[in-house]
Amino acid sequence: MEEETGNESGSLAALERWKGRRRFFVLPLASVFLLVAFYVNAIAPPSAFPVDSIVAVPRGATLTQVARMLEERHLIRSPLWFEIFVWLRGGQRGIIANPYLFDEPVTSWTIARRLLRGELGLSQVRVTIPEGVTAVEIGELLKKNLPAFDLASFMKAVRDKEGYLFPDTYFFLPDETAEGAVKTLSLNFERKILSIQKERESFGKQLSDVVIVASLLEKEASKTEDRKIIAGILWKRLAIDMPLQVDAALLYINGGRVPTGADTKIDSPYNTYLYRGLPPTPIANPGLDAITVAVTPVKTEYFYYLSDDDGVIHYAKTFEEHQENQQKYFR
């Protein structure tokens, strides 16, 4: 009888030990299950993650709006947990509005970090815009370097900005918009023009006239010394109401080919052979040198000039001297 009692006690003890071990294993397994569930539902990238896509975070958007947008684009699973991750990572600084490239699936935790630090994942594209190009040529250059660039929208946006898109080297993101590019080039013009504000105000001409003359100089000569003399000739002709007769203006209306005698008969306000005064708008986008020269011309006795086949400028005081130069250098 005592043996049976002993066996029962041993069995009960073994049962209790087994229950203890079961609890020991069940609790960790439950924790692992919860962690996996949390990772899958809150952190892991969705199965439909848009690899190699660019997602633009709009300016002024709230964190909630951004979270919903990311969910709609299948970048995150849970907008709520994304917002929590942002705050845990120091969300009080605010996310940085910009386009972001996602070339592989990443977790919500990583996306939160990238948006807070502005880690775009994009390489900027260097675009150099030469002095003296037209708005059309600028648009074509941007399209060549930025395949997704909307050329039609750009041309619509620059309709009244010829001459005011500053030639320079720029760094654009691959998804640069037409409006963004126009704003960048226009703001750069405004900054650059401030550097010669005193000279421009002292010269006393309207900015619009200065830019038009600068655009003519940009096309007429490449050397600053020649530009200064030609600037003096052009302003002097304007003062006495003498036709400017600038061949460069003909390029703006004949498609850019070498002007001929027939081109001087084209009925256009840009034809400075037929119409006195300045063209209605700039014919190109001048650089700072041409703009500076336009307000700091050199006064001479010359009224005429021409460029030979080697690009050398020859000046004349009278029309007779000008005709002699024509016969001498254009046989």
DSSP 298: P
The pLDDT of residue 2 is above 50: no
Instruction: Report the range of poorest mean pLDDT among 143-147, 182-186, 234-238.
Output: 143-147
Distance from C-alpha of 118 to C-alpha of 305, rounded to nearest angstrom: 55
- In the chain, the amino acid numbered 101 is L
Using one digit for the tens of pLDDT, what is the confidence trace for 256-267? Answer: 777 777 888 999
Written in H, E and C, the secondary structure of 90-149 is CHHHCCCCCEEEECCCCCHHHHHHHHHHCCCCCCCEEEECCCCECHHHHHHHHHHHCCCC
Taking residues 226-238, report their average pLDDT: 96
Q: Where are the domains of the chain?
A: 53-117, 125-193, 204-300
**Fold of the CATH domain 53-117:** Dna Ligase; domain 1 (3.30.1490)
pLDDT of residue 76: 92
Phi, psi at residue 285, to the nearest 5°?
Answer: -105, 105
How many Cα atoms within 13 Å fall on the side-chain side of residue 236? Answer: 15
More confident residue, 81 or 37: 81
Tell me if 35 sits within 8 A of 88, measured CB to CB: no
The pLDDT of residue 205 is above 60: yes
The pLDDT of residue 156 is above 90: yes
The pLDDT of residue 331 is above 90: no
pLDDT of residue 92: 63
Tell me if 167 sits within 8 A of 290, measured CB to CB: no
Q: 325: which 2 tokens? A: 């130069």
Q: What share of the chain is helix, strand, coil (3-state, %, to 5)?
A: 55, 10, 40
Tell me if 231 sits within 8 A of 239, measured CB to CB: no
Question: Strand, coil or helix: what is 314?
Answer: strand
CA-nearest of 265, 319, 241, 219 to 231 is 219
Using one digit for the tens of pLDDT, what is the confidence trace for 250-305? Answer: 988 887 777 777 888 999 999 999 999 999 999 999 999 999 999 999 999 999 99
Distance from C-alpha of 133 to C-alpha of 283, rounded to nearest angstrom: 9
pLDDT of residue 15: 47
pLDDT of residue 273: 93
Q: Do the domains 53-117 and 125-193 sit in the same CATH topology, yes or no?
A: yes
Instruction: Report the range of poorest mean pLDDT among 15-24, 39-48, 146-155, 321-330.
Output: 15-24
Distance from C-alpha of 149 to C-alpha of 145, rounded to nearest angstrom: 9
The answer, as to whether pTM is greater than 0.85, is no
For the chain, percent of residues with pLDDT exceeding 70: 89
Residues near 189 by Cβ (< 8 Å), separated by ≥ 6? 164, 165, 166
Length of the chain: 331
Phi, psi at residue 274, to the nearest 5°?
Answer: -90, -35
CA-nearest of 137, 167, 127, 204 to 288 is 167
pLDDT of residue 35: 76
Name the average pLDDT for the chain. 87
pLDDT of residue 260: 77
Distance from C-alpha of 45 to C-alpha of 39, rounded to nearest angstrom: 9
Q: 34: which 2 tokens? A: 């919860």
Max CA pair span of the chain: 146
**Helix (H) or strand (E) segment spanning residue 282:** none
Question: Would you place residue 49 in the very low, low, confident or very high pLDDT band (cuts 50, 70, 90)?
Answer: very high
pLDDT of residue 18: 46
Question: Would you place residue 22 in the very low, low, confident or very high pLDDT band (cuts 50, 70, 90)?
Answer: low
Q: Residue written as tokens 């000569």?
A: 221
Taking residues 75-97, report their average pLDDT: 86
How many Cα atoms within 13 Å fall on the side-chain side of residue 66? Answer: 27
Distance from C-alpha of 259 to C-alpha of 241, rounded to nearest angstrom: 23
pLDDT of residue 310: 84
**Helix (H) or strand (E) segment spanning residue 244:** none
Select the CATH number that applies to the domain covering 125-193 from these four: 1.10.10, 3.30.1490, 3.40.50, 1.10.3470: 3.30.1490
The pLDDT of residue 228 is above 90: yes
pLDDT of residue 122: 77
Distance from C-alpha of 284 to C-alpha of 167, rounded to nearest angstrom: 10
Instruction: Report the range of poorest mean pLDDT among 9-13, 135-139, 221-225.
Output: 9-13
Taking residues 297-324, report their average pLDDT: 91
pLDDT of residue 253: 86
Residues near 194 by Cβ (< 8 Å), separated by ≥ 6? none
